[in-house]
Amino acid sequence: MTDSSILTADPKNTAKKLETFRSIRPLVHCITNEVVQEITANVLLAAGASPAMVVGEGETEQFASIANAVSVNVGTPYENRVAIMKKAARAASEAGRPWVLDPVAAGGMPWRDKIIFELLELGPAAVRGNASEIRFLAGVGTGGKGVDSLDSSEQAVEAAKTLAKKYKTLVVVTGETDYATDGERVLAARGGNPMITLVVGTGCSLSSLLAGFIGANGASVETCIACCDYVNRAGELAAARAKGPGSFHCEYLDALWLLQPGDF
């Protein structure tokens, strides 16, 4: 990216946000997809949060209003689960709790796209997606290849700004470089390792971790980029020790746990 107005993540900011996150140990209410439940809970635990997958119709509103943050992920949507997502999003907003939307596979299927746009209207504190998802939501392109991106994150920076402005939210678009924007400022987190894309749920679990970072530190571009910077460092550490995706999965959890604020 040649745009000199995009600043790179400040390691001191990452250290501070990670420290606060660990001291608060946020309770993160996850309403996520069927594929990534376990990696999401494990990523949150390793990083230093308390995950809870509360998806019952009779309990989700109450829990959304007491958790530090809510993570809503549309990866495997069905009618009942979508109704629960909307209830939780409304309850969180009413209680002043932040919630994060992961618009998995936006652009591929009109039924799902309608649900995502309805959720966007409910006021997420942040939206985290891959480049094709973010571009589609901003009115550019037709989405990715299922849950995977066909675009680079650089190609989605302007779309991320447009989306952030339109819905008055923070937008995080991930890829080789991660970008966070409030519609005006853009910060970038570089590094990481592409092997992370060979383990399912690393994007989805990042969205839930982002909810935890926001729940602990407040919603800001700095909070978002700190979360991405931390995950990238964990990806680098894990890749240095892994033989392939299987051992990367384990090493990634270990790296999230091992990394300390002082390492940044």
Ligand X SMILES: Nc1ncnc2c1ncn2[C@@H]1O[C@H](COP(=O)(O)OP(=O)(O)O)[C@@H](O)[C@H]1O
Ligand Y SMILES: Cc1ncsc1CCOP(=O)(O)O
Verify binding: residue 150, ligand Y, rule CB under 6 A.
no
Verify binding: residue 147, ligand Y, rule CB under 6 A.
yes
Report the helix count and the strand count for the chain, using DSSP H and E.
10, 9
Residue 33 interacting partner from ligand X, Mg ion, ligand Y, none (CB closer than 5 to 8 Å by kind)? ligand Y
Q: Is 40 flagged in the annotation as binding?
A: no
Verify binding: residue 76, ligand Y, rule CB under 6 A.
yes
In the region spanning residues 198 to 227, those forming contacts with Mg ion, defined by CB under 5 A, are: 203
Q: Is 128 flagged in the annotation as binding?
A: yes
Give all strands of the β-sheet with 178-181 in edge-to-edge order: 7-8, 186-189, 178-181, 170-174, 126-130, 99-102, 69-73, 27-31, 50-52
Ranges assigned E (strand) in the chain = 7-8, 27-31, 50-52, 69-73, 99-102, 126-130, 170-174, 178-181, 186-189
Q: Is 162 flagged in the annotation as binding?
A: no
Q: For residue 145, give the DSSP letter.
A: B
Verify binding: residue 176, ligand X, rule CB under 6 A.
yes
Are β-strands 170-174 and 178-181 bridged in parallel, bridged antiparallel, or unpaired? antiparallel
Closest-by-Cβ residue to ligand X is 203
Verify binding: residue 202, ligand Y, rule CB under 6 A.
yes
Binding site residues for substrate, as ranges? 53, 201
Which residues of this protein are in contact with Mg ion, per CB under 5 A?
Answer: 104, 203
Which residues of this protein are in contact with ligand Y, per CB under 6 A?
Answer: 33, 35-36, 75-76, 104, 147, 200-204
